[in-house]
Amino acid sequence: MFELEGVAVSYDKVEALAPTDLVIAEGETLVLLGPSGSGKSTLLRCLIGLARYRGSLRFRGAPVSDWRALRPRLGYVIQEGGLFPHLTARGNVVLMAGELGWDRPRIDARLTELAELVDLAADQLDRFPGELSGGQRQRVAMMRALMLDPDVLLLDEPLSALDPITRVRLAGDLRDIFARLGKTVAMVTHALGEARFFGGTTALMRDGHIIQKGAIDDLVRDPADPFVAEFLAAEEAL
């Protein structure tokens, strides 16, 4: 789905992402794991064209020249949802479909379908983000990301700002959604538990580099360098 060759990002001459090679396969769930400042969010932001990168980034074999045209095929969810406070939940979800000229019945049908998928009561859709709980906001953000039925879901710490109970419930629901839709997923987290919970491939990052990539149990069993062992052990300890 994505092929990266020597993709690198610098902010004000500080390298946030070292030249990185990475392939994300169709239907794969990739978890980008690492401490804060390791470059995992920067890498994810490259995948939706928000970070200015050097190097070659290809989507389905073709270099990306027009990110705006590609973005409707990518769903993006960030910590706290990034919902627009001046629009209702419904307004947030249907914004892009409206711009693309979807008609009312099509929008309504898709809304009903998605509300059911993310388990959000229909009456919550008329509320503003400020009137929703943190978990509800993330469910709305998922609906917004899925509205146009994208090929890829890009999630940046979607569970981090939630209380433990909400977090566990939403994590379960997200895993079910991923399984049902079978979409390609790239998700950033700093929590080993989440990486293990969502399964798939984990790429462990530090200081802008991918240190090791593989199934999480393989990383635990066979750490490629002392940092991997130390990070995983520290995450297990608490």
What is the binding site for another protein (CB under 8 A)?
45, 48, 50, 68-72, 74, 76, 78-80, 82-88, 91, 95-96, 99, 128-130, 144
Query: Strands 54-59 and 201-206, how do they pair?
Result: unpaired
Please give the Cα distance from 162 to 141 (Å, whole number): 14
Question: Do 46 and 203 meet the contact criterion of CB atoms below 8 Å apart?
Answer: no
Burial class (CB in 10 A: 0-12, 13-18, 19+), 224: middle
Residue with tokens 């902010």: 11
Q: Which amino acid is at 95?
A: L
CB of residue 82 to another protein, shortest distance in Å: 4
Nearer to another protein (CB atom), residue 5 or residue 131: 131
CB of residue 5 to another protein, shortest distance in Å: 23
Question: Do 83 and 62 meet the contact criterion of CB atoms below 8 Å apart?
Answer: no
Question: Do 173 and 117 meet the contact criterion of CB atoms below 8 Å apart?
Answer: no
Nearer to another protein (CB atom), residue 61 or residue 85: 85
CB of residue 80 to another protein, shortest distance in Å: 7
Report helix, strand or coil for 29. strand
Sheet containing 74-78: give its strands across.
74-78, 152-156, 184-189, 29-33, 201-206, 209-215
Nearer to another protein (CB atom), residue 83 or residue 159: 83
Nearer to another protein (CB atom), residue 58 or residue 71: 71
- Please give the C-alpha separations between residue 12 and each of 16, 42, 50, in angstroms, as whole numbers: 10, 14, 16
CB of residue 232 to another protein, shortest distance in Å: 29
Nearer to another protein (CB atom), residue 90 or residue 167: 90
CB of residue 51 to another protein, shortest distance in Å: 10
CB of residue 186 to another protein, shortest distance in Å: 13
CB of residue 69 to another protein, shortest distance in Å: 8
Kindly tell me the sign of the dihedral angle through the C-alpha atoms of 211, 212, 217, 223.
negative
Nearer to another protein (CB atom), residue 19 or residue 82: 82
Nearer to another protein (CB atom), residue 89 or residue 232: 89
